[in-house]
Structure formats: structure tokens, C-alpha cells
Homo-oligomer: A and B are copies of this chain.
């Protein structure tokens, strides 16, 4: 057998210097043009090197704006490694006929595991308990304050997609009572549907946010929703920081308007309101819900499969809805 004489396609890759995964996999299958993390402004690099590029793999969360797209006139596909695409100008991609793919279900299990972990951690005060023990307070003070029962809690899930469904499945095994809100009621789903988040908050003990951040969902959790959730209510956010009015949430947590929060994402991450650092009823996580070796393998496979499908004119594995 002789090697094919056709050289593998050239793909453009952007990655933060800290994210080295997928490099081998891409290099084995394609010629790779990596955008250097040098002092060169990105537009200059792109206009010199990328005008004929058809496929762009965006590892991490580089914003893809209309301006950036204008330097990639031959672009046909943008492969993203995240589930959420709020950093991508999807309307402009649509206008230019650029297909966009996301991580599909690659992260779903890990994000669901993480959401449930945060929920138990807040209700049962696990990180606060760990601090209590490490600081010597168990010996000094004795009793640790009571936690709140997980079993039997009413949990309202905002966004019942791939991640939300896995969260529901897990929490059902704890005896939690599941309901949900999403753009429309899902057929064949046994959980109660609430058409608006205000009534979902009123009827539940915990809200879990795992929907996309869009113009419609920006600050979907506002002061009114938190008032409705009430003083023992807990918010878990594994979606995007912008889903919550963060300033109001901080006030509500400090004043006891709501009972607690488990937060993997923040409006201006990695910057976090300093008031949160002093609160024992809050569990903070550095946008790590997807960060396991297993997930990174999964997403690399999904990205590769999308690229291979694209270059052999087969349907994409995880195309994003562009409108």
C-alpha cells in the first residue's frame, strides 16, 4: 500500500497556551497552522497566513467576532471545543455561510456530575466542613452546624438538554422531585414543566442552571426570581455567569434572601465579587465543570469527527443551531 499522495488539509488552530490537549490528534490527521501567542496582532497574522483557510478549530474561548471572521474569507467551518457558544457571533457565521460545531455531548456527563456535586456540597456544607476540620475547629468548637437534606428536595432545572437530562436522572436517584423550564415543553418527559422561571423558582427548593446564555436568557435569574426562590432556596450554576444578575445574587446571599449557591461560572470570571469569599453558604468553582481528562479526550474526538466529516462531505456530528 502506498500513502495517499494528497496532502492532508490545512486547518487553523487557536488555543490558550495552557491548553495543550488535542495537539497530537490534530497533527496526526491534518496540517496544522497554529495561531502563535506572540505579540503580533491577530488580524495581521490572519491576513498574512489564513486567507485560504477553510476550517478553524477554536480551542478555549477566543471570541469570534464579525471582524475576526472578515480575515477568514474562505472559512467554511468553525469547530469549537465548548458547549456554550456565547463567545461566537453566530448570526455573522450564519450570514457568511460558516457552519459551527460545538462540543456536543462530550462534556455532558462531567458537567452533570459537577452540578450534582455542587448541589450536595452546598446543602451538606462539604467545603465548609472541610475548612472547619482543617482549621482545628472540630477540636476547639465541637459541633458543626446541621446541613440540609438532599433527599426529597424539589429541584427545578433550567434547560433540559443533554446536560439537564443527566442532572435530572442523577437527582431522581436521590429521591429529589424534578421539574424544569425550557423554551418549550419536551414531549415524553415525566418531569413537570413550568413555562416561566418565576413559577419554577416559587415551587422549588433548588434551581439548577444549565441552559445556553443568549439574549433571552441573560440575567434570567434576577432579583424577582431570587425573592420567589426564598430564604432556604439554593442556586446551582453550571451554565454561564451571565444567566444570573450577579450583583443582585451577592446581595441576596449576604442578606439571606436566598439560602446558598454553588457556582462554577461568573459574569466576569476569573474576577469574582469579593463578598462571596466570606460566605460559608456558597461553594465556588473555577469554571471546572468540564475539566477532567476524560472530558478532554471526549471533546477532542468530537472535534476530530466533525473535521473528518467536513472534509469528506458527510453530515457534521454536533452542528450548532445558527438561528
Contacts and interface: CB of A to CB of B under 8 A. Distances in A.
Contacts of A291: 144, 146-147
Given A138-B270, A170-B173, A292 B124 contact: yes
Residue among A147, A148, A150, A294 with most chain B CB within 10 A = A147
A288 interface: yes
A6 interface: no
A175 interface: yes
A139 interface: yes
Interface of A: 18, 109-110, 113-114, 116-118, 120-121, 124-127, 129-134, 138-139, 142-144, 146-152, 169-170, 172-175, 269-272, 277, 283-286, 288, 291-296
A146 to B, nearest CB: 5
A76 B281 CA distance: 45
A149 B110 CA distance: 7
Nearest to A119: B117
Nearest to A132: B286
24 contacts: A109-B151, A110-B149, A113-B174, A114-B120, A114-B124, A116-B120, A117-B120, A117-B121, A117-B126, A120-B121, A121-B121, A121-B126, A121-B127, A124-B292, A129-B285, A130-B284, A133-B286, A144-B286, A144-B291, A147-B291, A149-B292, A152-B294, A170-B170, A172-B173
Contact of A130 (B138, B170, B285): B285
Nearest to A137: B286
Contacts of A131: 127
